Structure 1
Amino acid sequence: MRLLAGVVPAATLWLAGCQGTDDLSRTGCLPLRVPATVVLQRETGLYRIGDAEVPVLTDHPRDTRNDASQRRSLLRTVPPGTRVTIDRLTQRWGFDAGKGRISAFGTLPSGERFEYGWGTGSVIGPAPWEGPGLPKRRTVKCDA
């Protein structure tokens, strides 16, 4: 039993070290180089999710059926034509899941920070600052 008491914390620390975030800002694997000022092409919403420090920018209107269980609440809408600054592009990765969420981090004209979940793994969708007519899913190859 004592052996397990030492092994479990060590394994936990080892697995925690098997996750991280890659900076994709200058890799050229996404159709945006940052820092950049972009103009929203469609209405979006700024949402608070649980206790997250940074609100999430997402398409609006959207299906809100699961918002209560995710503790998601609309802070405000952001109209098309709004200029936003994107200053960082990242991808989370982990031992158990591989390549994870691709995010764009930026600032609204009011100074509010946000995260936009652009995709997962090697697939992104059309960002709200991209024009119409893009496919719902595009494959990207990001090897940071």
Structure 2
Amino acid sequence: METWSIRTMAPEETMVFAEKLGALVQQGDVITLEGDLGAGKTSFTKGLAKGLGVKKVVNSPTFTIMKQYKGRIPLYHMDVYRLENEYEDLGFEEYFYGDGVTVIEWPSMIVAQLPQDRLKITIEYKGESERLIMIEATGSRSSELSKELAV
């Protein structure tokens, strides 16, 4: 397991960093996003979507649990904050191991269902525009992705 971090000084910098990740992801990659409200999870996902070539406007799926976008590969953007039961079977596996990349906001709500190998990203609010983005790889594929991203 490896961990590293980067500081961004504006939402645009966060999006550019995430765009780089979007260009690297492959089918079956799972990215979890943790951070307080307003930390920049959705901005991060917008950048990632841009890196995937998504043309539609990306916004938080807060009330729908998941939104799907077409890009180089499909993007499945989940916000699981409002789930009632962590063990409720909503068919997440078909997305985690499917034909696209899955981004999950508030992953602690479904931790028992998450794949072992995932790229864990935590965004900390450090000031008006400053964010600390911590990246943790939890398996072989996420480690490979993390190394490519760090270059």
Do both proteins adopt the same fold according to a TM-score greater than 0.5, normalized to the shorter chain? no
Larger radius of gyration: 1
Which structure has more helix as a fraction of its residues? 2
TM-score (norm 2): 0.26
Which structure has more strand as a fraction of its residues? 1
For CA contacts below 8 A with separation 6 or more, give which structure has more relative contact order.
2
